Amino acid sequence: MQAERRSDSPSLSARNLTGIDDLSDSDIALILSRAQFYADALRDGTVPRVLEGKIILSLFFEDSTRTRTSFDVAANRLGADVVHWNAETSSLKKGESFEDTVRTLSALGPDAIVMRHKEFGAPLTVAKIAACPVINGGDSWRAHPTQALLDALTLKRHFGEIEGRTVAIIGDIAHSRVASSNMELLPRLGVKLRVIAPEVLMPEKLPSDDIEKFTTLEDGLPGADAVITLRLQKERMESALIDSDAAYFKAFGMTHERLDLAGKDAVLLDPGPFLRGVQIDDALADDRSRFLYDRQVANGAPTRMAVLDLFMNKGASSPL
């Protein structure tokens, strides 16, 4: 049995998802409610195949485990075909420019492009060239909008409502696209946001003056409902900014004791990959009642199903 189809067909104002700033408040609400719809449909086995006959071009210029696979799962669940393009075996190796490669692939007429790239703003360049929606799976430290959306869905499903909740993000705020997109999204959902990092990993300017900065866990954690840890993005540091993984863990690594500093009911999230003994100790990493990582990964599918459906079916009468 298919999930019940809705007769009203709300539509997004955004054409692409290159960053959270593409989305209006009602776009965000629509994506999160559609994501919840797909989470329920996945549980009930009632997913409508709303992307049957569509082709998604998957352009990952940078490594990925979770994001790429989760977009693939989302696309397959909705009936779309995914074509993977591999930078390593492409004509980029023969000297073709990035723009010409994108123009060539775009001429094949995909219905959407999902991409990841190490260059700042690369999805914006692709969006200018492509005739179809471009969905960003992460670029440089700038943006990772679907990760922020799935984090919001995870918080929403855990707490019921996230407005008024306090969330603390710990770690490499300066180099993390997950931090960047969450710093844009969570305050727009009414979350009181804190960032906790050593000075060297704290950006000079945060996207909003309402985000509180802390340099120690002892100051930043008390009263937080949820904590998000981040990997040290060493590939984006010009020199070693942190003495050693052990020194980082001593000051910023999460343990049960430290999570209890936030509160006995506080929960931990991490976008992955999480490094045991650096971001999180083994005992907390294995305690999936406090560490919601599996739920984040699982929520990646319905979140990306919502994004693909809403961006690819825009203008068409709503299939739901």
How many Cβ atoms are within 10 Å of 193's Cβ, its own excluded?
23
Q: How far apart are CA 156 and CA 28, in angstroms?
A: 13
Q: Interface with ligand NCD includes 66 (CB under 6 A)?
A: yes
- Note whether 138 binds ligand NCD by CB under 6 A: yes
When asked if residue 67 is in the footprint of ligand NCD (CB under 6 A), the reply is yes
Q: In 3-state terms, what secondary structure has residue 75? A: helix
Residue with smallest beta-carbon separation from ligand NCD: 231
Least distance from C-beta 62 to ligand NCD, angstroms? 8
| Burial annotation 216-249 (CB, 10 A radius, 16+ → b, else e) | ebeebbeebbbbbbbbbbeeeeeeebbeeeeebb
Interface residues for ligand NCD in 191-250 (CB under 6 A)? 231
Residue 258 is encoded by which pair of tokens? 């430290």
Binding residue (CB under 6 A) for ligand NCD from 77, 117, 144, 194:
144
Report, in Å, the least distance between residue 292 CB and ligand NCD.
14
Taking the complex as a whole, the smallest distance from the CB of residue 288 to ligand NCD amounts, in Å, to: 17
**Which positions from 266 to 285 touch ligand NCD by CB under 6 A, shown as an x/- string?**
-----xx-------------
Q: What is the dihedral of CA 228, 233, 237, 240, to 10 degrees?
A: 90
Alpha helices in 53-144 (DSSP H): 66-77, 98-106, 122-129
CB of 197 to ligand NCD, least distance (A): 14
Q: Which of 31, 152, 178, 196 binds ligand NCD (CB under 6 A)?
A: 178
For residue 307, CA distances in Å to 100, 114, 221 come to 27, 11, 32
* Smallest gap from residue 98 Cβ to ligand NCD (A): 20
How is residue 82 annotated by DSSP? E
For residue 150, the minimal CB distance to ligand NCD (Å) is 9
Q: Residues in the site for ligand NCD, rule: CB under 6 A?
A: 66-67, 138, 144, 147, 177-178, 231, 271-272
